[in-house]
Amino acid sequence: MGTTQSRVDGRIARGNQTRQLILRRAVDIASVEGLEGLSLGRLAGELKLSKSGVFALFGSKEDLQLATVRAAAAIYRQHVIDPAHDLPSGLGRLWAVCAGWLAYSRDRVFPGGCFFYSAVAEYDAREGKVHDALAAARTDWFRYLEQTVRDAQAAGEVEAGTDVAQLVFEIAALLEMANAESVLYDEYASYDRAATAIRDRLRAAATDPSLLPATA
C-alpha cells in the first residue's frame, strides 16, 4: 500500500512540475504574442514534452489560456502586491505598490511588459471565459488599489474628500501608459515620468505631502 501511494504521489508531483514548466513558458509567449498564440502542440515541441502528456494536463486550448491567466495573476501578485503586504496602511504602502508595478514592467518580468495590459487589449471586445477571467483580474486589481487608498484615508494620510475612484483611475492610467510607451519604443524614461506624475498626484491628495518622497 505504501509503495503504491508513493508511486501515485510521485506521478502527481511530476505532473505538477510539468504543469508549472508549461505555464511559465505559456505566460512568456502570451505576453508577446497574445493568448491566441498559445497551442498545446507548440508548447510540447518547445519544451520537448510528449503531446499526449501536455494534452492530459490541459484538455483544450481554452483550458490552457485560462490556466495561463491564473499563472500570470500569481506572478503579478508576487511582484506587485506581496512586497508591500507587510507595510503599515498608508501612503507608504500605496507608493510601494505603484513603485512595484513600475519595476515589474520595467524589469520585464514578462518579456512583453505587463501581461494583463496586452491580454486585456486582445480580449476586451470579445466574449467568453477568457474575457471574463481577464475582466475579473482587472477588477480585483482596481479593488485592491481602491482599498489601499481607503486604508490610507483611514490612517489619516489621504484627504477625506478625495475621489478614490478617480485617483485610482489616474494611477492605473499612468502605470499602463509607461508600460505601453516602453514596450512600443524600447525606452525606459517613461517609467520615471509616470513615477513623477503619480508622486505629484499623491502629494496633492496627502494630508502631509512629506509622507511621500521629494523626488520619484
Distances in Å between the Cα of 27 and the Cα atoms of 11, 110, 120 are 24, 7, 14
Helical pair 115-123 and 61-76, crossing angle rounded to 10 deg: 140
Joined grid coordinates for residue 135: 475582466
77-102 burial code (b ≥16 CB/10 A, e <16): eebbbebbeeeebbbbbbbbbbbbbb
Q: Cα(9)–Cα(13) distance, rounded to whole angstroms?
A: 6
Helical pair 164-185 and 189-205, crossing angle rounded to 10 deg: 170
pLDDT of residue 16: 82
Q: Which residues contact 135 (CB under 8 A, 6 or more apart)?
A: 120
Q: With a cut of 70, which residues of the chain have pLDDT below it? A: 1-13, 15
pLDDT of residue 181: 98
Cα 169 to its chain centre, rounded Å, is: 17
Q: What is the pTM of this model?
A: 0.91
Q: Cα(161)–Cα(6) distance, rounded to whole angstroms?
A: 60
**DSSP code per residue over 96-135:** HHHHHHHHHHHTTSSTTS-HHHHHHHHHTT--SHHHHHHH
Which superfamily does 60-211 belong to? Tetracycline Repressor, domain 2 (1.10.357.10)
